[in-house]
Amino acid sequence: MMALWGLAAALFAGGPARAGQALPVVTLQIGEHTVRAELADTPDALRTGLMNRTAMPADAGMLFALGPPDIYCFWMKDTLIPLSIAFIDRRGRIVDIQDMQPRSLEPHCPPEPITTTLEMNRGWFDKAGVKTGGVVRGIPAP
């Protein structure tokens, strides 16, 4: 079954992720790089993601805890900043990295089932030397 998060965002009103509350932050390790990522793990946070933000710190991102392994697709309809997305399987392995354009309806889907994604400023993975096959450590257990 294909889960299309962009479709969910279009169908439901995307308000603040937790009614104005900050999302929890997790510390991830990707190779030699440390990333502080907001954790989107509720239906509201998953729908809202990074929509309507105008900037994100250099080594910060958003980790989406999606659920059981599946083909989860993303789009950027109401997202204002250019992002790169890493699709991550249940073992923490990056199965694909894609660049995404702000305000685009183009779907971005992984090549195989995943459980999480990590969105960073566009180009972060390239600059950090992080490639497909790399491992993300510190992902919270479901």
Distance CA 91, CA 100 (A): 24
Given a contact cutoff of 8 angstroms between Cβ atoms, the answer to whether 105 and 6 are in contact is yes
Query: Which of 6-15, 38-47, 59-68, 126-135 has the least mean pLDDT?
Result: 6-15
Query: Which of 5-9, 63-67, 93-97 has the least mean pLDDT?
Result: 5-9
Distance CA 94, CA 115 (A): 11
Supply angle C-alpha 79, 33, 45, rounded to 5: 30
DSSP code, position 17:
T
pLDDT at 7 over 80: no
pLDDT at 138 over 70: yes
Predicted confidence (pLDDT) per residue in 40-76, tens digit = 999 999 999 999 999 999 999 999 999 999 999 999 9
Give the model's pLDDT for residue 13: 30
Given a contact cutoff of 8 angstroms between Cβ atoms, the answer to whether 55 and 100 are in contact is no
Query: What separation, in Å, do the N-terminal and C-terminal C-alpha atoms of the chain show?
Result: 20
pLDDT at 77 over 50: yes
Give the model's pLDDT for residue 142: 81
